[in-house]
Amino acid sequence: MNAADDARIEPSEHDELLRRLSGIADGDLAFRGRRPVKEHVMREITQGGRTARRRSRRPLFLSLGVVAAACAVAVTFTLHGSGPGQTATAARPEPAAVQLLDRVALAAGSAPAPAVRDGQFMYAKTVGHSTSLSEVAGDGGRMEAAPTDESAERWYSVDGSAGMTVRTGRGSETFPPGGPPTLNGPTYRFLETLPTDPDALLDLIYEDTRKQHGSGSGSTTGPDQQAFVAIGDMLGRFQAPPGLSAALYRAAARIPGVVLVPESKDAAGRTGVAVARVHNGERTEWIFDKQTMRLLGARTVALKDSDWGKAGTAVTSVAVVAQGVTDRPGQLPQG
């Protein structure tokens, strides 16, 4: 059985899930539009002692520092056949995954918008880990996997004027503003300006990615997987405007290869239902509460034995445990 087969839901599991999640029914939706692209980031840092080279996997929901530039192959895709410059090689999204994302979008869109003012901060607390591969010096190129704690509290400037403050068990660090906000480094005010039509949003993301990471970049991730990761980063960074959150979930429902996972556990130990996408022997999952449809967290699971670990290993797992708005870094949200 290959990785794609592992990711799919058996009929009995599918039926059981639909029974447990009221409001989901079988059926399919026709979608159109371009597919946005974005790339995982692999950072290389030099480490003393026994490790000659260390390659860090980008954690879900952003790293503690500044996200590095990404590489991507810009490709357009349509679910209704190919045209000039288009390919249609990936599987359609599973109907059950599309329907779950629609329920999630409805819940996200009906949530109250946070009351924010310029000068305030969007707060997010996460727990979890990412995994790094280290090449052990003098050991024939053997790679060693090691977890990296990604638990942190973050304060993002609402308007970008004050940058970001990160507090971990090792202390606090403030990152100054890094220039105008972008899709890969947004502020709350920037997110408020994005279109809430899913197709227009996909076009905007795709245009930005194609401009920066066009054909010939050497990317092996592919546009569909990068689109899934990009949207997940935007949703998990902090509490986004409700209309945009709903649009992002509906945009994700248009990505080829998106599947449903009946049960998954986040880094905080909470069990939920997930939508996911498989790429290169790994399944990237977004996990939701089964009752409220609230995003709990995300993780990437190895589907086959590799240097990253045994099949079934959560290579990266990050859970969102608190969000809110504060007046200053270091302050916790009220209520």
User: How far is it, in rounded angstroms, from Cα 233 to Cα 222?
Assistant: 17
Is the residue at 55 inside a domain?
yes
Name the helix (H) or strand (E) containing 237: helix 223-237
Answer whether residue 47 is part of any domain: yes
The DSSP output letter for 286 is: E
Asked if residues 126 and 151 have their Cβ atoms less than 8 Å apart, the reply is yes
pTM attached to this predicted model: 0.75
In a domain, 331, yes or no: no
Per-residue pLDDT reduced to its tens digit, 298-321: 999 999 988 888 999 999 999 999
* Both structure tokens of 67: 């996200």
* Per-residue confidence band for 326, with pLDDT thresholds at 50, 70 and 90: very high
Average pLDDT over residues 261-290: 96
Cα(202)–Cα(106) distance, rounded to whole angstroms? 19
- pLDDT, tens only, 76-89: 233 323 222 233 44
252 pLDDT above the threshold of 50: yes
Q: How many domains does the chain have?
A: 1
Q: At what angle do helices 198-212 and 242-252 cross, to 10 degrees?
A: 70
Q: Which domain holds residue 42?
A: 3-326
